[in-house]
Chain A
């Protein structure tokens, strides 16, 4: 099929060219970006050197984002799993009502909430605390997480839990030994989506965190770009983009299946 090959090629160019351009930019000297350079000159690792020796060094932001991402994922799963389990055990009407509210919340453009969340952060002294970010992040990802995990619980045959009940297992034991191992794939997909969200989140991190050494990745990169009034230092910025994207790239390559499963499950259920 020649037509399909062409289509695939187009898709590849469309998806990858902007990213490859970042990679290219990050490896070029400033003057090489502005005027053509002869031959093999104009290539450099200076951009990487510059951001890695900055104050704070760039890996600090990677660390910050990783910490927030892991904390948010853990908190979301900790709250969402019991909630999804409990939800499945409610009468049909309560369940439908709550599921509807969760769907509305999952669709809601959360930017709208930033001002009130900022007020809350200030009142409770949560601003400029890295781990505190995982509270709004968990709150914002809970609707999707509960819906996904609820669907996973609903897919399990009820006899499995009944059988465990008859064998004398209490609620916690049934959850721990019978149900949790069986919803592990759904938990993994959900966790990955939560991690991606918190890694990429912008408006809340922008307003909650002002101390340079606590910035998360997107804010730090945006700040690099905003550090000079007249020209954006594109080389340094591109290097930051490449470094900040590598972990995501790895995540996507390793976990493509569960991420896709999570997203599509969200649609089906």
Chain B
């Protein structure tokens, strides 16, 4: 074995982007291993799409470095980075057929005809798009368009997959179906996958790890389970988990919070609560409660009949504690 082993996968070091006096991305450090699927999660304007565009080379960072399999690609033009990207709008060429949408790049790079044809056929088959081969994007359904966009990213066999909210234009049912398909297709291959979304459910269902961004800063990075069980701060606790976590007022420099699914009615005592709204969701029910600490949310078994007013309690082990000023979680 020769000397230093080159770090594989994608590494971002102190990545920063300024637009005017506005710091859109503030010193982002993270790495994505080959075959790993990392979701960039956060509310709109948090810097997640910016990060993706910096990795693709569509925007330039004001500081920091991007490495791919050990190569510094920070200053490399986007056309040489060999990334496969799926845009939120899919960005399919409206004037070209599905087939030509996939082949245009390879044709213009001068790849041999037979190879292009073979690659396209295998990808179209994989995504079950063979019957749509000669159609134009306008003649396809939303789900088919999304698959064509995916196919176009796949067909060039890139070193890295980038996906920007690829499912936000689809209806809920389709989104659920495609989530599994996407995971099977992309993740676990030789390439790192970076997936941008604002939907925490999508991120948790799809990603090996999730990076939560807020106001251009990385809040926490970890497995979906870690983010849920051990959120690094109050923001992550509030952003991960639906319905949203319930927060108690600060007491002696400490903020306590409890997830709705950990609340339980007590026979006597506890936090007094009155039911404002009941949403029956089948297996479970969601209650909107009025408490001395404001509006709380509670999830419990769908079969339980609850009184109009009762006392609330929760196992102390389930309680999360945060430092009042910084919002950091206390251990």
A residues sitting closer than 8 Å to B (CB atoms) are 157, 159-160, 162-170, 173, 177-178, 181-182
Contacts and interface: CB of A to CB of B under 8 A. Distances in A.
Nearest to A156: B94
B91 interface: yes
A167 B79 contact: yes
A173 to B, nearest CB: 5
Interface stretch (B3-11, B102-110, B211-219, B242-250): B102-110
B93 interface: yes
21 contacts: A157-B91, A159-B89, A159-B91, A162-B56, A162-B58, A162-B91, A163-B91, A163-B152, A164-B93, A166-B56, A166-B58, A166-B79, A167-B104, A167-B105, A167-B108, A168-B79, A168-B109, A169-B104, A173-B108, A177-B104, A181-B95
A159 B93 CA distance: 10
Contact of A162 (B81, B87, B109, B156): B87
Given A160-B93, A178-B93, A181-B95, A168 B108 contact: yes
A211 B79 CA distance: 55
B85 interface: yes
B78 interface: yes
Size category, B interface: 20 to 34
Contacts of A169: 79, 104-105, 108
**A160, A162, A167, A181: most-surrounded residue (chain B CB, <10 A):** A167
Interface string B59-94: 000000000000000000011110111011101011
Nearest to A177: B104
Contacts of A168: 79-80, 105, 108-109
Interface in B189-209: none
Contacts of B156: 167
A254 to B, nearest CB: 22
B81 A166 contact: yes
A173 B57 CA distance: 19
B78 A166 contact: yes
